[in-house]
A and B are shown apart, each in its own frame.
Chain A
Amino acid sequence: MQWGWRFPSALQTIQTFCDGIANGQLLQATLSSLRRIIIAFVLSCAIGITLGVLFARSRLLDETFGFAVVALQTVPSIAWLPFAIIWFGLNDFAVLFITTIGATWTMTIASRSGIKNIPPIYLKSAQMFGTGRGIRLFYQVMIPAAIPQLITGMRMAWAFAWRALVSGELIARGVGLGQMLEEGRSIGDTSLMLCIVLVIAILGTISDYFVFKRVEDRIWNQYGLNTAKT
Protein backbone atom coordinates (compact mmCIF):
# COMPACT_ATOMS: atom_id res chain seq x y z
CA MET A 1 0.00 0.00 0.00
CA GLN A 2 1.25 3.45 -0.89
CA TRP A 3 0.96 5.86 2.05
CA GLY A 4 2.98 8.70 0.60
CA TRP A 5 0.16 10.66 -0.96
CA ARG A 6 -2.04 10.31 2.11
CA PHE A 7 0.29 12.44 4.21
CA PRO A 8 1.31 15.57 2.36
CA SER A 9 4.74 17.00 3.04
CA ALA A 10 5.20 20.56 4.24
CA LEU A 11 6.74 21.48 0.90
CA GLN A 12 3.78 20.11 -1.05
CA THR A 13 1.39 21.99 1.17
CA ILE A 14 3.24 25.26 0.74
CA GLN A 15 3.35 24.63 -3.00
CA THR A 16 -0.40 24.07 -3.10
CA PHE A 17 -0.96 27.16 -1.01
CA CYS A 18 1.09 29.30 -3.39
CA ASP A 19 -0.67 27.81 -6.41
CA GLY A 20 -4.04 28.43 -4.80
CA ILE A 21 -3.18 32.07 -4.16
CA ALA A 22 -1.68 32.47 -7.62
CA ASN A 23 -4.67 31.18 -9.54
CA GLY A 24 -7.04 32.99 -7.20
CA GLN A 25 -9.05 29.92 -6.21
CA LEU A 26 -7.98 29.87 -2.61
CA LEU A 27 -8.50 33.58 -2.19
CA GLN A 28 -11.93 33.40 -3.73
CA ALA A 29 -12.92 30.48 -1.51
CA THR A 30 -11.66 32.30 1.59
CA LEU A 31 -13.49 35.47 0.69
CA SER A 32 -16.80 33.76 0.04
CA SER A 33 -16.48 31.78 3.29
CA LEU A 34 -15.70 35.00 5.15
CA ARG A 35 -18.67 36.68 3.55
CA ARG A 36 -20.95 33.87 4.74
CA ILE A 37 -19.60 33.81 8.24
CA ILE A 38 -19.86 37.58 8.61
CA ILE A 39 -23.47 37.61 7.42
CA ALA A 40 -24.32 34.71 9.70
CA PHE A 41 -22.43 36.25 12.62
CA VAL A 42 -24.16 39.60 12.33
CA LEU A 43 -27.52 37.86 12.08
CA SER A 44 -26.87 35.64 15.07
CA CYS A 45 -25.68 38.58 17.17
CA ALA A 46 -28.80 40.54 16.31
CA ILE A 47 -31.13 37.61 17.00
CA GLY A 48 -29.15 36.48 20.04
CA ILE A 49 -29.07 39.88 21.69
CA THR A 50 -32.76 40.46 21.01
CA LEU A 51 -33.72 37.09 22.45
CA GLY A 52 -31.32 37.52 25.36
CA VAL A 53 -32.82 40.89 26.27
CA LEU A 54 -36.33 39.48 26.04
CA PHE A 55 -35.41 36.58 28.30
CA ALA A 56 -33.70 38.88 30.77
CA ARG A 57 -36.63 41.30 30.94
CA SER A 58 -39.55 38.90 30.90
CA ARG A 59 -39.69 36.32 33.58
CA LEU A 60 -42.53 34.55 31.86
CA LEU A 61 -40.52 34.03 28.67
CA ASP A 62 -37.46 33.05 30.61
CA GLU A 63 -39.21 30.37 32.61
CA THR A 64 -40.96 28.90 29.59
CA PHE A 65 -38.62 29.20 26.60
CA GLY A 66 -35.37 29.91 28.43
CA PHE A 67 -35.01 26.24 29.10
CA ALA A 68 -35.50 25.47 25.40
CA VAL A 69 -32.56 27.70 24.48
CA VAL A 70 -30.26 25.70 26.73
CA ALA A 71 -31.56 22.51 25.13
CA LEU A 72 -31.05 23.94 21.65
CA GLN A 73 -27.51 24.94 22.47
CA THR A 74 -26.62 21.34 23.16
CA VAL A 75 -27.73 20.33 19.66
CA PRO A 76 -24.78 20.50 17.22
CA SER A 77 -25.83 22.92 14.51
CA ILE A 78 -24.95 20.45 11.75
CA ALA A 79 -27.90 18.40 13.00
CA TRP A 80 -30.11 21.08 11.44
CA LEU A 81 -28.54 20.65 8.02
CA PRO A 82 -30.95 17.93 6.85
CA PHE A 83 -33.80 20.31 7.67
CA ALA A 84 -32.01 23.16 5.97
CA ILE A 85 -31.56 21.05 2.84
CA ILE A 86 -35.23 20.20 2.74
CA TRP A 87 -36.30 23.79 3.39
CA PHE A 88 -33.79 25.70 1.27
CA GLY A 89 -31.96 23.11 -0.87
CA LEU A 90 -28.24 22.46 -0.94
CA ASN A 91 -27.22 26.05 -1.37
CA ASP A 92 -25.75 29.09 0.33
CA PHE A 93 -28.94 29.68 2.21
CA ALA A 94 -28.74 26.34 3.97
CA VAL A 95 -25.16 27.03 5.03
CA LEU A 96 -26.05 30.49 6.27
CA PHE A 97 -28.95 29.01 8.18
CA ILE A 98 -26.96 26.46 10.12
CA THR A 99 -24.09 28.88 10.73
CA THR A 100 -26.51 31.40 12.17
CA ILE A 101 -28.17 28.74 14.31
CA GLY A 102 -24.78 27.56 15.49
CA ALA A 103 -23.90 30.96 16.95
CA THR A 104 -27.29 32.31 18.00
CA TRP A 105 -27.91 30.28 21.15
CA THR A 106 -24.54 31.06 22.67
CA MET A 107 -25.16 34.72 21.99
CA THR A 108 -28.64 34.49 23.51
CA ILE A 109 -27.35 32.94 26.71
CA ALA A 110 -24.47 35.39 27.01
CA SER A 111 -26.63 38.47 26.51
CA ARG A 112 -29.33 37.18 28.81
CA SER A 113 -26.87 36.78 31.67
CA GLY A 114 -25.18 40.06 30.72
CA ILE A 115 -28.42 41.97 31.13
CA LYS A 116 -29.50 40.03 34.21
CA ASN A 117 -26.25 40.74 36.01
CA ILE A 118 -26.47 44.51 35.71
CA PRO A 119 -26.28 45.90 39.26
CA PRO A 120 -29.81 47.15 40.11
CA ILE A 121 -28.32 50.38 41.42
CA TYR A 122 -27.31 51.37 37.86
CA LEU A 123 -30.91 51.13 36.72
CA LYS A 124 -32.22 52.90 39.81
CA SER A 125 -29.88 55.84 39.45
CA ALA A 126 -30.54 56.05 35.71
CA GLN A 127 -34.23 56.54 36.41
CA MET A 128 -33.40 59.14 38.99
CA PHE A 129 -31.49 61.07 36.33
CA GLY A 130 -34.48 60.87 34.07
CA THR A 131 -33.88 58.10 31.53
CA GLY A 132 -37.33 56.66 32.12
CA ARG A 133 -37.86 52.94 31.76
CA GLY A 134 -37.85 52.67 28.01
CA ILE A 135 -35.50 52.87 25.09
CA ARG A 136 -33.13 55.43 26.61
CA LEU A 137 -32.56 53.30 29.68
CA PHE A 138 -31.94 50.42 27.31
CA TYR A 139 -29.29 51.87 25.06
CA GLN A 140 -27.66 54.29 27.48
CA VAL A 141 -27.42 52.01 30.49
CA MET A 142 -28.43 48.42 29.93
CA ILE A 143 -26.45 47.77 26.75
CA PRO A 144 -23.24 49.50 27.88
CA ALA A 145 -23.48 47.80 31.27
CA ALA A 146 -23.75 44.41 29.57
CA ILE A 147 -21.02 45.08 26.97
CA PRO A 148 -18.21 43.09 28.64
CA GLN A 149 -20.37 39.97 28.70
CA LEU A 150 -21.68 40.63 25.21
CA ILE A 151 -18.13 40.78 23.82
CA THR A 152 -17.21 37.53 25.51
CA GLY A 153 -20.39 36.02 24.09
CA MET A 154 -19.50 37.27 20.61
CA ARG A 155 -16.07 35.76 20.83
CA MET A 156 -17.61 32.40 21.60
CA ALA A 157 -20.29 32.83 18.98
CA TRP A 158 -17.63 33.51 16.34
CA ALA A 159 -15.86 30.24 17.17
CA PHE A 160 -19.15 28.33 17.03
CA ALA A 161 -19.99 29.97 13.72
CA TRP A 162 -16.71 28.79 12.16
CA ARG A 163 -17.40 25.22 13.16
CA ALA A 164 -20.89 25.28 11.76
CA LEU A 165 -19.78 27.04 8.59
CA VAL A 166 -17.10 24.55 7.64
CA SER A 167 -19.28 21.55 8.36
CA GLY A 168 -22.09 23.06 6.32
CA GLU A 169 -19.82 23.91 3.41
CA LEU A 170 -18.44 20.38 3.30
CA ILE A 171 -21.86 19.21 2.21
CA ALA A 172 -23.35 22.16 0.37
CA ARG A 173 -22.57 23.26 -3.18
CA GLY A 174 -20.93 26.56 -4.05
CA VAL A 175 -17.58 28.21 -3.49
CA GLY A 176 -15.94 28.17 -0.08
CA LEU A 177 -13.25 26.68 2.09
CA GLY A 178 -15.37 23.71 3.10
CA GLN A 179 -16.25 22.95 -0.52
CA MET A 180 -12.58 23.15 -1.48
CA LEU A 181 -11.71 20.76 1.30
CA GLU A 182 -14.29 18.32 0.00
CA GLU A 183 -13.00 18.85 -3.54
CA GLY A 184 -9.52 17.96 -2.35
CA ARG A 185 -10.87 14.74 -0.85
CA SER A 186 -12.67 13.74 -4.03
CA ILE A 187 -9.54 14.11 -6.15
CA GLY A 188 -7.25 12.72 -3.46
CA ASP A 189 -5.26 15.94 -3.12
CA THR A 190 -4.29 15.76 0.55
CA SER A 191 -1.96 18.72 0.30
CA LEU A 192 -4.92 20.87 -0.69
CA MET A 193 -6.91 19.47 2.25
CA LEU A 194 -4.16 20.23 4.75
CA CYS A 195 -3.71 23.62 3.19
CA ILE A 196 -7.40 24.45 3.75
CA VAL A 197 -7.31 23.21 7.35
CA LEU A 198 -4.35 25.48 8.01
CA VAL A 199 -6.07 28.43 6.38
CA ILE A 200 -9.09 27.86 8.63
CA ALA A 201 -6.90 27.64 11.72
CA ILE A 202 -4.98 30.79 10.80
CA LEU A 203 -8.11 32.78 9.98
CA GLY A 204 -9.66 31.70 13.29
CA THR A 205 -6.61 32.67 15.27
CA ILE A 206 -6.16 35.99 13.54
CA SER A 207 -9.78 37.00 13.93
CA ASP A 208 -9.85 35.95 17.57
CA TYR A 209 -6.55 37.51 18.50
CA PHE A 210 -6.65 40.71 16.49
CA VAL A 211 -10.33 41.48 16.66
CA PHE A 212 -12.10 39.90 19.59
CA LYS A 213 -9.32 39.68 22.10
CA ARG A 214 -8.25 43.25 21.38
CA VAL A 215 -11.75 44.59 21.80
CA GLU A 216 -12.31 42.49 24.90
CA ASP A 217 -9.07 43.66 26.53
CA ARG A 218 -9.82 47.26 25.71
CA ILE A 219 -13.33 47.05 27.13
CA TRP A 220 -12.20 45.23 30.25
CA ASN A 221 -9.57 47.89 30.85
CA GLN A 222 -12.01 50.70 30.30
CA TYR A 223 -14.50 49.15 32.71
CA GLY A 224 -11.76 48.47 35.23
CA LEU A 225 -12.63 44.78 35.38
CA ASN A 226 -8.98 43.73 35.39
CA THR A 227 -8.16 45.84 38.41
CA ALA A 228 -11.40 45.06 40.19
CA LYS A 229 -10.00 41.73 41.36
CA THR A 230 -7.30 43.29 43.48
Chain B
Amino acid sequence: MNRHAFSAGLLGLFLFCLTVTSAVSETIILDAEDQFGYARTLYEQGEFPGAAAEFSRFIHFFPEAPQQAAAHYARALAFYMDEQYEKAGKSFGRFRHRFDSSALALAAGMMEAMCHNRLGDPAGGVVLLSNLQVEFKGDAEAQHLLLTRLAWTRLAMGDLPRAEAAFKASAGDVVRSCGVQGILNSLDQFKALPEKSPTLAGGFALIPGGGYLYLGRYQDATVAFLLNVALGLAAAESFDDGNNALGALISFVGFGFYSGSIHGSYTGALKANRQSRESLWKEMLHWGDELEKNQSKSCLGLTLTIPY
Protein backbone atom coordinates (compact mmCIF):
# COMPACT_ATOMS: atom_id res chain seq x y z
CA MET B 1 0.00 0.00 0.00
CA ASN B 2 2.82 2.34 1.00
CA ARG B 3 4.80 1.40 -2.11
CA HIS B 4 1.82 2.36 -4.31
CA ALA B 5 1.39 5.65 -2.57
CA PHE B 6 5.12 6.37 -2.92
CA SER B 7 5.02 5.60 -6.67
CA ALA B 8 1.98 7.80 -7.15
CA GLY B 9 3.74 10.61 -5.29
CA LEU B 10 6.82 10.27 -7.47
CA LEU B 11 4.69 10.33 -10.62
CA GLY B 12 2.87 13.45 -9.37
CA LEU B 13 6.17 15.20 -8.66
CA PHE B 14 7.47 14.30 -12.12
CA LEU B 15 4.35 15.70 -13.81
CA PHE B 16 4.57 18.88 -11.72
CA CYS B 17 8.21 19.42 -12.69
CA LEU B 18 7.31 18.97 -16.35
CA THR B 19 4.59 21.64 -16.13
CA VAL B 20 6.81 24.14 -14.31
CA THR B 21 9.66 23.67 -16.78
CA SER B 22 7.38 24.29 -19.73
CA ALA B 23 5.97 27.40 -18.03
CA VAL B 24 9.44 28.82 -17.28
CA SER B 25 10.70 28.19 -20.76
CA GLU B 26 7.77 30.16 -22.20
CA THR B 27 9.39 33.63 -22.64
CA ILE B 28 7.64 36.71 -23.96
CA ILE B 29 9.41 38.42 -26.81
CA LEU B 30 8.52 42.07 -27.31
CA ASP B 31 9.40 43.84 -30.51
CA ALA B 32 9.86 47.58 -30.93
CA GLU B 33 6.31 48.08 -32.17
CA ASP B 34 4.79 46.33 -29.14
CA GLN B 35 6.97 48.19 -26.64
CA PHE B 36 6.25 51.59 -28.24
CA GLY B 37 2.56 50.73 -28.46
CA TYR B 38 2.44 49.75 -24.78
CA ALA B 39 4.16 52.98 -23.70
CA ARG B 40 1.81 54.98 -25.90
CA THR B 41 -1.22 53.21 -24.41
CA LEU B 42 -0.07 54.09 -20.90
CA TYR B 43 0.36 57.71 -22.01
CA GLU B 44 -3.09 57.83 -23.52
CA GLN B 45 -4.53 56.36 -20.31
CA GLY B 46 -2.95 59.20 -18.35
CA GLU B 47 -0.39 56.93 -16.63
CA PHE B 48 2.41 59.42 -17.29
CA PRO B 49 5.14 58.14 -14.89
CA GLY B 50 4.60 54.60 -16.23
CA ALA B 51 4.61 55.86 -19.81
CA ALA B 52 7.89 57.73 -19.23
CA ALA B 53 9.44 54.52 -17.81
CA GLU B 54 8.23 52.44 -20.76
CA PHE B 55 9.50 54.97 -23.30
CA SER B 56 12.87 54.83 -21.50
CA ARG B 57 12.79 51.02 -21.81
CA PHE B 58 12.06 51.39 -25.51
CA ILE B 59 14.95 53.83 -25.96
CA HIS B 60 17.31 51.45 -24.15
CA PHE B 61 16.34 48.15 -25.78
CA PHE B 62 15.58 49.32 -29.34
CA PRO B 63 18.28 51.88 -30.13
CA GLU B 64 18.03 51.23 -33.87
CA ALA B 65 14.23 51.50 -34.06
CA PRO B 66 12.88 54.21 -36.37
CA GLN B 67 10.69 55.57 -33.54
CA GLN B 68 13.71 56.61 -31.42
CA ALA B 69 13.13 60.35 -31.91
CA ALA B 70 9.41 59.98 -31.28
CA ALA B 71 10.12 57.97 -28.11
CA HIS B 72 12.51 60.63 -26.77
CA TYR B 73 9.96 63.34 -27.47
CA ALA B 74 7.15 61.27 -25.97
CA ARG B 75 9.18 60.58 -22.80
CA ALA B 76 9.80 64.31 -22.34
CA LEU B 77 6.11 64.95 -22.99
CA ALA B 78 5.17 62.34 -20.35
CA PHE B 79 7.36 64.20 -17.80
CA TYR B 80 5.66 67.44 -18.81
CA MET B 81 2.16 65.99 -18.43
CA ASP B 82 3.20 64.58 -15.04
CA GLU B 83 4.15 68.17 -14.07
CA GLN B 84 7.83 67.25 -13.69
CA TYR B 85 8.75 70.40 -15.58
CA GLU B 86 12.43 70.45 -14.71
CA LYS B 87 12.94 66.90 -15.96
CA ALA B 88 10.77 67.62 -18.98
CA GLY B 89 12.72 70.78 -19.84
CA LYS B 90 16.04 68.91 -19.65
CA SER B 91 14.65 66.06 -21.78
CA PHE B 92 13.38 68.47 -24.45
CA GLY B 93 16.76 70.23 -24.39
CA ARG B 94 18.64 66.95 -24.86
CA PHE B 95 16.23 66.04 -27.68
CA ARG B 96 17.04 69.28 -29.54
CA HIS B 97 20.76 68.57 -29.37
CA ARG B 98 20.52 64.91 -30.29
CA PHE B 99 17.89 65.17 -33.03
CA ASP B 100 18.65 68.67 -34.30
CA SER B 101 17.71 67.74 -37.88
CA SER B 102 14.44 66.12 -36.80
CA ALA B 103 11.12 67.69 -37.72
CA LEU B 104 10.40 67.74 -33.97
CA ALA B 105 13.42 69.90 -33.04
CA LEU B 106 11.36 73.10 -33.20
CA ALA B 107 8.48 71.54 -31.26
CA ALA B 108 10.95 70.39 -28.57
CA GLY B 109 12.41 73.90 -28.34
CA MET B 110 9.00 75.41 -27.83
CA MET B 111 8.10 72.81 -25.23
CA GLU B 112 11.39 73.55 -23.45
CA ALA B 113 10.42 77.24 -23.39
CA MET B 114 7.03 76.25 -21.99
CA CYS B 115 8.80 74.31 -19.21
CA HIS B 116 10.65 77.55 -18.31
CA ASN B 117 7.21 79.17 -18.07
CA ARG B 118 5.87 76.47 -15.82
CA LEU B 119 8.94 76.72 -13.59
CA GLY B 120 8.23 80.43 -13.09
CA ASP B 121 10.99 81.62 -15.42
CA PRO B 122 9.22 82.86 -18.57
CA ALA B 123 12.13 85.22 -19.27
CA GLY B 124 14.29 82.13 -19.89
CA GLY B 125 11.61 80.93 -22.31
CA VAL B 126 11.69 84.24 -24.20
CA VAL B 127 15.48 83.97 -24.64
CA LEU B 128 15.13 80.43 -25.98
CA LEU B 129 12.30 81.39 -28.34
CA SER B 130 14.30 84.36 -29.64
CA ASN B 131 17.23 82.04 -30.35
CA LEU B 132 14.89 79.67 -32.18
CA GLN B 133 13.62 82.59 -34.28
CA VAL B 134 17.18 83.13 -35.49
CA GLU B 135 17.77 79.39 -35.95
CA PHE B 136 14.62 78.93 -38.07
CA LYS B 137 14.96 82.12 -40.12
CA GLY B 138 13.32 81.73 -43.49
CA ASP B 139 10.82 79.09 -42.35
CA ALA B 140 7.53 81.00 -42.41
CA GLU B 141 5.50 78.35 -40.59
CA ALA B 142 8.10 78.02 -37.83
CA GLN B 143 8.26 81.80 -37.46
CA HIS B 144 4.50 81.98 -37.09
CA LEU B 145 4.42 79.26 -34.42
CA LEU B 146 7.29 80.93 -32.58
CA LEU B 147 5.54 84.30 -32.66
CA THR B 148 2.37 82.70 -31.28
CA ARG B 149 4.37 81.06 -28.50
CA LEU B 150 6.19 84.32 -27.76
CA ALA B 151 2.86 86.14 -27.45
CA TRP B 152 1.62 83.67 -24.83
CA THR B 153 4.96 83.75 -23.00
CA ARG B 154 4.95 87.56 -22.88
CA LEU B 155 1.40 87.38 -21.55
CA ALA B 156 2.49 84.90 -18.85
CA MET B 157 5.29 87.19 -17.71
CA GLY B 158 2.96 90.20 -17.54
CA ASP B 159 4.71 92.05 -20.38
CA LEU B 160 1.38 93.05 -21.88
CA PRO B 161 2.46 95.68 -24.44
CA ARG B 162 4.82 93.19 -26.10
CA ALA B 163 2.26 90.40 -25.77
CA GLU B 164 -0.26 92.58 -27.57
CA ALA B 165 2.21 93.35 -30.37
CA ALA B 166 3.03 89.65 -30.80
CA PHE B 167 -0.66 88.64 -30.76
CA LYS B 168 -1.45 91.31 -33.35
CA ALA B 169 1.40 90.11 -35.57
CA SER B 170 0.38 86.46 -35.29
CA ALA B 171 -3.40 86.93 -35.31
CA GLY B 172 -3.64 87.46 -39.09
CA ASP B 173 -3.83 83.81 -39.98
CA VAL B 174 -4.71 82.25 -36.64
CA VAL B 175 -8.02 80.44 -36.75
CA ARG B 176 -10.97 82.14 -35.09
CA SER B 177 -11.41 79.32 -32.53
CA CYS B 178 -8.16 80.30 -30.81
CA GLY B 179 -9.89 83.32 -29.35
CA VAL B 180 -6.94 85.62 -30.05
CA GLN B 181 -9.37 88.39 -30.92
CA GLY B 182 -10.88 87.89 -27.46
CA ILE B 183 -7.42 88.28 -25.90
CA LEU B 184 -6.84 91.47 -27.91
CA ASN B 185 -10.21 92.80 -26.76
CA SER B 186 -9.30 91.97 -23.15
CA LEU B 187 -6.01 93.84 -23.59
CA ASP B 188 -7.93 96.90 -24.87
CA GLN B 189 -10.26 96.58 -21.88
CA PHE B 190 -7.18 96.31 -19.67
CA LYS B 191 -5.79 99.59 -20.99
CA ALA B 192 -9.13 101.31 -20.40
CA LEU B 193 -9.43 100.17 -16.76
CA PRO B 194 -9.97 103.09 -14.38
CA GLU B 195 -6.78 103.85 -12.51
CA LYS B 196 -6.29 105.50 -9.14
CA SER B 197 -3.20 107.68 -8.94
CA PRO B 198 -0.97 106.64 -5.99
CA THR B 199 0.63 110.11 -5.96
CA LEU B 200 -2.76 111.81 -5.73
CA ALA B 201 -3.87 109.38 -3.00
CA GLY B 202 -0.68 110.12 -1.02
CA GLY B 203 -1.12 113.87 -1.59
CA PHE B 204 -4.73 113.87 -0.42
CA ALA B 205 -3.67 111.88 2.64
CA LEU B 206 -1.75 114.96 3.88
CA ILE B 207 -5.20 115.97 5.11
CA PRO B 208 -5.96 113.07 7.48
CA GLY B 209 -8.35 110.62 5.82
CA GLY B 210 -8.25 112.43 2.45
CA GLY B 211 -6.33 109.65 0.72
CA TYR B 212 -8.81 106.96 1.76
CA LEU B 213 -11.67 109.25 0.75
CA TYR B 214 -10.15 109.52 -2.74
CA LEU B 215 -9.99 105.69 -2.87
CA GLY B 216 -13.66 105.42 -1.86
CA ARG B 217 -12.82 103.81 1.50
CA TYR B 218 -15.06 105.95 3.66
CA GLN B 219 -14.81 103.90 6.86
CA ASP B 220 -11.00 103.93 6.76
CA ALA B 221 -11.12 107.67 6.00
CA THR B 222 -13.26 108.33 9.07
CA VAL B 223 -11.00 106.25 11.33
CA ALA B 224 -7.87 107.96 9.99
CA PHE B 225 -9.40 111.43 10.38
CA LEU B 226 -10.67 110.89 13.93
CA LEU B 227 -7.48 109.18 15.12
CA ASN B 228 -5.17 111.84 13.72
CA VAL B 229 -7.26 114.76 14.94
CA ALA B 230 -7.68 113.20 18.42
CA LEU B 231 -3.98 112.45 18.77
CA GLY B 232 -3.03 115.92 17.49
CA LEU B 233 -5.37 117.64 19.96
CA ALA B 234 -4.18 115.42 22.83
CA ALA B 235 -0.54 116.19 22.06
CA ALA B 236 -1.25 119.95 21.87
CA GLU B 237 -3.20 119.81 25.13
CA SER B 238 -0.36 117.93 26.86
CA PHE B 239 2.23 120.48 25.75
CA ASP B 240 -0.07 123.32 26.85
CA ASP B 241 -0.40 121.72 30.28
CA GLY B 242 3.36 121.38 30.58
CA ASN B 243 3.28 117.59 30.25
CA ASN B 244 6.08 117.56 27.72
CA ALA B 245 6.94 113.89 28.14
CA LEU B 246 3.35 112.82 27.57
CA GLY B 247 3.08 115.28 24.68
CA ALA B 248 6.19 113.81 23.06
CA LEU B 249 4.88 110.26 23.47
CA ILE B 250 1.48 111.13 21.97
CA SER B 251 3.19 113.04 19.15
CA PHE B 252 5.32 109.99 18.40
CA VAL B 253 2.26 107.75 18.20
CA GLY B 254 0.43 110.46 16.21
CA PHE B 255 3.33 110.64 13.77
CA GLY B 256 2.98 106.88 13.28
CA PHE B 257 -0.72 107.12 12.45
CA TYR B 258 -0.32 110.21 10.27
CA SER B 259 2.51 108.76 8.18
CA GLY B 260 0.76 105.38 8.29
CA SER B 261 -2.36 106.82 6.69
CA ILE B 262 -0.26 108.47 3.94
CA HIS B 263 1.53 105.18 3.34
CA GLY B 264 -1.74 103.27 3.42
CA SER B 265 -3.35 105.60 0.88
CA TYR B 266 -0.43 105.38 -1.55
CA THR B 267 -0.22 101.58 -1.19
CA GLY B 268 -4.02 101.32 -1.37
CA ALA B 269 -4.07 103.00 -4.80
CA LEU B 270 -1.36 100.64 -6.06
CA LYS B 271 -3.20 97.63 -4.64
CA ALA B 272 -6.56 98.73 -6.09
CA ASN B 273 -5.02 99.13 -9.56
CA ARG B 274 -3.26 95.81 -9.32
CA GLN B 275 -6.32 93.94 -8.08
CA SER B 276 -8.58 94.98 -10.97
CA ARG B 277 -5.84 94.38 -13.54
CA GLU B 278 -4.74 91.07 -12.11
CA SER B 279 -8.18 89.50 -12.37
CA LEU B 280 -8.36 90.38 -16.08
CA TRP B 281 -4.81 89.15 -16.63
CA LYS B 282 -5.61 85.83 -14.92
CA GLU B 283 -8.68 85.45 -17.14
CA MET B 284 -6.45 85.73 -20.20
CA LEU B 285 -3.96 83.23 -18.79
CA HIS B 286 -6.83 80.88 -18.02
CA TRP B 287 -7.84 80.98 -21.68
CA GLY B 288 -4.31 79.82 -22.56
CA ASP B 289 -4.64 76.91 -20.11
CA GLU B 290 -7.97 75.93 -21.67
CA LEU B 291 -6.38 75.89 -25.14
CA GLU B 292 -3.58 73.74 -23.76
CA LYS B 293 -6.10 71.25 -22.41
CA ASN B 294 -7.55 71.01 -25.92
CA GLN B 295 -4.01 70.48 -27.26
CA SER B 296 -4.42 73.23 -29.80
CA LYS B 297 -1.09 73.40 -31.60
CA SER B 298 -1.89 76.25 -34.00
CA CYS B 299 -3.23 78.42 -31.19
CA LEU B 300 -0.37 77.90 -28.74
CA GLY B 301 2.57 76.79 -30.87
CA LEU B 302 2.89 73.67 -28.71
CA THR B 303 3.05 70.06 -29.92
CA LEU B 304 1.31 68.25 -27.10
CA THR B 305 0.61 64.94 -28.82
CA ILE B 306 2.93 61.98 -29.34
CA PRO B 307 4.17 61.92 -32.92
CA TYR B 308 3.88 58.48 -34.59
A is bound by B: no
By a beta-carbon cutoff of 8 Å, the part of chain A in contact with chain B is none
